[in-house]
Amino acid sequence: MIRRIRLGLVVLVCVVLQTTLFTHLRIDGVAPDIGLVAVLAVAWEDGPETGALYGFVMGLAVDLFLTTPLGLSALAFAVTGYAVGVFQSGVVRTTPWLAPILGGVGGLFSGLVFITAGAIVGQSGMLSFDSLRIVLIASVYDAVIAPIVFPLVRRAARREDARPTWRIR
């Protein structure tokens, strides 16, 4: 129960930071997806099912503050959380570069899912070079903030009886 409250607070903090701080810290007009980076950390810690569920909840919370259709970020985050969870279950050795690599690749994957699904549901001009530029910059930005976000979210996501299984140096 306490873990769920902690993860709920992570959602709230991510939404507030996304809608305030990161709107001022855009690079070439692009902000990172701090909520997605938190989902990647939870998916890595807890596997595909939790990753997908947490991704859906986080995406839905972020969607409430966007003008794109409600459910678009939820879809992208849920699929990405699931994929990272599946990938994690097959990894036997980690690297100190894990957080930025996951942040970058996860950001790229999620962005591509977002623009593809957006185009399918009729969002104007989603499949364009500008969208790809945004996805690329956002994924690099996600990779940069991941080493800061991962340890904090991992701590919130850890079960009370669990022992640390990986570490970011």
The site string for other proteins over 136-155 (x = CB under 8 A, - otherwise) reads --x-----------------
Query: Closest CB to other proteins among 66 and 96?
Result: 66
Count of chain residues binding other proteins (CB under 8 A): 56
The binding track of 3-22 with respect to other proteins, each residue x by CB under 8 A or -, is ---------x--xxxxxxxx
Which residues ranging from 25 to 44 are in contact with other proteins (CB under 8 A)?
A: 25-26, 29-31, 33
Is residue 66 close enough to count as binding other proteins by CB under 8 A?
yes
Non-local (6+) Cβ contacts of 161 within 8 A are none
* Contact residues for other proteins, defined by CB under 8 A: 12, 15-26, 29-31, 33, 48-49, 52-53, 56, 59-62, 64-72, 74-75, 78-79, 82, 114-115, 117-118, 121-126, 128-131, 134, 138
